Structure 1
């Protein structure tokens, strides 16, 4: 049986559970509102005794690349790199951290911090990336909010190219008084990356009509596996939303607008869940980068570090 760490906020009763051996996946976040317990994140009940595919539940962490790298191959500073293909797929998917054990480096009643270093925690894949990296994540529960702090460090003598994403599965409905089709979800975006076989062509297509923009989509009316950009921001943050109007509840995922610029919406088949995935760069950025496209790919110099954040907030809807 896989071990889990549960953190909680004494005042509100909100709590979250994280599995360090399953990619430091936060597989449960629940809050008490409107007289009921809201299960925010979708995971199977037997996740600890019978873990499913690592990217199919909870909140997988995607680093140093989110989504796909075409055929698991790219070139960086004149050198060819080969990333192992994901089982059953023609591409490499979702990075090196989501399917490996992490080390817990700090823990308290309301927070836990995990760390993953490529050369230590997955040395077999260390040669697959241009530089070593250390990714630290701190989860903290505060009132009805799950806060996530990311710190990326480059301990190598060479530059570190990186992209970061999360892959939260939001469970629907939010209330026992509702049905999944009573819920809407959305992201306020203005462009979509054109895809061929799930990989961007490099073209950004404007979403010219309000009907094309996935701002408030009723669950069950459309299927998604789309990569969006042109995210509406207040200058500091971007957000995704899930609204259960009948249940009087909503979820806002608020992200660092300096970093998160792409948004993937994915509706897994035959599940009452939706994935709203903030990314710092587009799918296959390691290859599109060479086409002089604005991919969002970031580069961290030797010895430098970078920090960013996102948070998931559950709130009542006030009439």
Structure 2
């Protein structure tokens, strides 16, 4: 596979993206006062396509993030059974991570510091179109500017029927942020005040006040954090949220800002890896099967011939004291 590199000409910050593998941005090196910071973690062989598509970089999870229980759901009275494909099933038979993280995207524009890719189910994933209630597309424009990587996202419904959808990203943030840092000096923060009650990684349809071990409002040290949780209860009446990783020893911080449409945040600490995943989702796991529950899931429906725009921005910088 041939990555596309985008680069900020003023600072030298760059990102590498694989259009052939889900438009995955598998490398982002930010220059902070002339110091290179490797922000995103992926296997050294990731660009060969020999690694699991969701195992590194920034996988894009669409038109549903995380799991659909038993790989099945109903929509408008029609039952859907999702494909029994190892890429799209977890170990217990749930569908996982959407339809577009392992397929080629079309590059529709490219310049020195930015590139735009598009995936439409009826064009780029025809064999999967029958597994969803209608056609849908996602367009992502990545741009590197200064020490920031920004994704401007457009989701659209080109068809004549309303279509459900959810979106998430699955960034693997490398920690510590420099060779002089250590996990015990790395802090992760999020403003979430609630969490979903889970059974076998699936929400049971109930939220609760966030437990002490999952509460990141005042920060948690990464060497003490073991997580695979869905946080929620974000502050109300604001237009964007922020989560961050701070390497106090190195004096560096990586911040992820995102549109308030991303109401859920999955926090995952992959075992035996020096990284942490902070995953913004527009809806909770298995949202399409929780419609009967008396709880807001975040699942959205796009009317025919309509679209919605959103964004996520990752940036590196010095800790300001």
TM-score, scaled to structure 2? 0.95
Cα offset, 1:186, TM superposition: 2.2
- In the alignment, the residues of structure 2 paired with residue 208 and residue 165 of structure 1 have an alpha-carbon distance, to the nearest angstrom, of 23
- Contact 1:57/1:169 (<8 A) preserved: yes
Cα offset, 1:4, TM superposition: 0.4
1:296 alignment partner in structure 2: 298
Cα offset, 1:35, TM superposition: 4.5
- Contact 1:71/1:85 (<8 A) preserved: no
Cα offset, 1:222, TM superposition: 2.1
Mean alpha-carbon deviation: is it higher for 308-317 or for 182-191?
182-191
- Contact 1:228/1:262 (<8 A) preserved: yes
2:186 alignment partner in structure 1: 183
- Contact 2:21/2:49 (<8 A) preserved: no
- Contact 2:206/2:295 (<8 A) preserved: no
Cα offset, 1:100, TM superposition: 0.9
Q: Does residue 1:137 correspond to 2:136, yes or no?
A: no
- Contact 1:6/1:16 (<8 A) preserved: yes
1:312 alignment partner in structure 2: 314
Q: Does residue 1:218 correspond to 2:207, yes or no?
A: no
Mean alpha-carbon deviation: is it higher for 19-28 or for 286-295?
286-295
Summarize deviations over 1:109-152 as a string: whole Å, max 9, x none. Answer: 01000000101111111010001011100000111110101101
Cα offset, 1:292, TM superposition: 3.9
Cα offset, 1:156, TM superposition: 1.1
- In the alignment, the residues of structure 2 paired with residue 50 and residue 184 of structure 1 have an alpha-carbon distance, to the nearest angstrom, of 32
Aligned CA distance change for structure 1 residues 169 and 208 (closer, same or farther; 3 Å): closer
- In the alignment, the residues of structure 2 paired with residue 173 and residue 234 of structure 1 have an alpha-carbon distance, to the nearest angstrom, of 33
Q: Does residue 1:111 correspond to 2:114, yes or no?
A: yes
Q: Does residue 1:51 correspond to 2:50, yes or no?
A: yes
262, 265, 270: which one aligns with 2:264: 262
- Contact 2:31/2:146 (<8 A) preserved: no
Q: Where do 5+ consecutive residues of structure 1 fail to align?
A: none
- Contact 2:23/2:105 (<8 A) preserved: yes
- Contact 1:231/1:263 (<8 A) preserved: no
State the SS of the aligned residue for 1:99: coil
Cα offset, 1:274, TM superposition: 0.1
State the SS of the aligned residue for 1:220: helix
Q: Does residue 1:6 correspond to 2:9, yes or no?
A: no
Cα offset, 1:208, TM superposition: 6.5
Question: What CA RMSD, in Å, does the superposition of the two structures yield over aligned residues?
Answer: 1.4
Mean alpha-carbon deviation: is it higher for 181-190 or for 85-94?
85-94
- Contact 2:154/2:309 (<8 A) preserved: yes
Q: Does residue 1:279 correspond to 2:271, yes or no?
A: no
State the SS of the aligned residue for 2:9: coil
Q: Does residue 1:173 correspond to 2:176, yes or no?
A: yes
- Contact 2:194/2:233 (<8 A) preserved: yes
- Contact 2:214/2:227 (<8 A) preserved: no
1:192 alignment partner in structure 2: 195
Aligned CA distance change for structure 1 residues 145 and 222 (closer, same or farther; 3 Å): same
Cα offset, 1:220, TM superposition: 1.9
2:82 alignment partner in structure 1: 83
Cα offset, 1:48, TM superposition: 1.7
Aligned CA distance change for structure 1 residues 220 and 37 (closer, same or farther; 3 Å): same
- Contact 1:85/1:93 (<8 A) preserved: no
- In the alignment, the residues of structure 1 paired with residue 149 and residue 61 of structure 2 have an alpha-carbon distance, to the nearest angstrom, of 18
Aligned CA distance change for structure 1 residues 234 and 240 (closer, same or farther; 3 Å): farther
Aligned CA distance change for structure 1 residues 97 and 128 (closer, same or farther; 3 Å): same
- In the alignment, the residues of structure 2 paired with residue 86 and residue 242 of structure 1 have an alpha-carbon distance, to the nearest angstrom, of 34
